[in-house]
Structure 1
Amino acid sequence: MLPGDAMRFQRYGHFEFRDTDRKRSAFLRKQKAEREALPLFADQVAAAQIGVDEEMQARRRQWERDLARSRQRQADKWREARRRIRTYPEPVRAALLGYWQACCWPGDPVYFLSMLHMYDHGRLQLDVPALTQE
């Protein structure tokens, strides 16, 4: 973004993994169903199953990795959007930013990039002052 250009956006929240009794119970029911599905091999299936605490730790680590990837993807999309908006001449850029600030779409980079795509393909008409030729 250029200095002085403020752009509406929604912050990407940080959500903690919650280890709940319901998740633990569901995991234990899943393991029980796996053992009951193969009654002749129930002992072998049980020996290969992990404990509920280990599973919840694995889920927590996976949650944190997924959250980090999602946040990074969101940040990359905002960087792409800022690069794209800089390519427009000033009257068009100002009109696009003004439209973005006033529109009711979520402040998400995918929506912003969609708006730019719509403009590029003539599906979004803005009242842009004529470009002056020097």
Structure 2
Amino acid sequence: MSEDRLFLFRLARELGKTIAQLDLELSPEEFTEWRAYYELEPWGTLVEDHRWQTSYELVWLNKGSGFMGDPPKLLDRDPEETERLMAEAAAAITLEDKLEAFFGPRAIEVVGEPPIA
């Protein structure tokens, strides 16, 4: 399904019309204007889900739940992509990053030869 056709379905749902009705009533110019408007101010389930998730995260953090870790992802529409991105992020963490995270300010840099005891 092309992106234009998918957008036509979104528009039909938003306007409460059928695709056949839009085919009769909607000029190509008006379709282009609706498409441009959608790019500026999207609507629909994905956008609403994202807004809801953001609100949920704000409440989670505001209620002092931060000590429990990050808020759960309730609306993951593409878990395979999320898993791939998380694996990439984990692979990007170097050994130095892990040592710094573990030792923190206790890590010291040895310069030159250590003294002979």
**TM-score, scaled relative to structure 1:** 0.27
Greater RCO, 1 or 2 (C-alpha within 8 Å, sep 6+)? 1
**TM-score, scaled relative to structure 2:** 0.30
